[in-house]
């Protein structure tokens, strides 16, 4: 009886840990490594179109955090996917991650120092045409 209770307690603890939201801030190299190791994830750039025109992380989609339709565009995304979010220096992406988490997204990673930190780490950037 005691063993069954302990096993049940262990299983409940594990289920609780697995069901919790993943919302984590990562440095550029860790962000890239985790992004590369996560198939079918979404790379989300929340900068303005002007900022995006100066260069973006390859494969990113852009939803401007400052645009009034940001919330609606976020709501249209698949909440079951894993998201990697960045901006210029990490401020807007951190706010975007908080909003996404509140909207029901459960697996979101923020690039701590944004594309600035990405570039300083020598990681690739492309320009859109």
Residue 5 lies in a domain: no
Residues 56-86 have pLDDT tens digits of 999 999 999 999 999 999 999 999 999 999 9
Residue 11 lies in a domain: no
Residue 82 lies in a domain: yes
Residues 63, 46: contact at Cβ < 8 Å? Answer: yes
| The model's pTM | 0.83
Residue 2 lies in a domain: no
Residue range(s) defining the domain that contains residue 50: 20-120
Residues 4-30 have pLDDT tens digits of 655 544 444 444 444 446 789 999 999
Residue 73, domain CATH: 3.40.250.10
Specify the number of domains making up the chain: 1
């Amino acid at each position: 009886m005691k063993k069954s209770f302990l096993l049940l307690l262990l299983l409940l603890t594990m289920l609780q840990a697995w069901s919790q939201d993943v919302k984590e801030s990562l440095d550029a190299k860790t962000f890239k490594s985790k992004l590369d190791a996560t198939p079918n994830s979404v790379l989300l750039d929340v900068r303005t179109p002007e900022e995006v025109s100066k260069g973006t992380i390859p494969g990113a989609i852009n939803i401007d955090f400052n645009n009034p339709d940001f919330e609606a565009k976020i709501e249209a995304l698949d909440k079951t996917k894993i998201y990697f979010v960045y901006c210029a220096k990490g401020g807007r992406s951190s706010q975007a991650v908080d909003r996404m988490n509140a909207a029901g997204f459960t697996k979101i990673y923020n690039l701590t120092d944004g594309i600035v930190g990405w570039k300083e780490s020598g990681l690739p950037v492309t320009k859109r045409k």
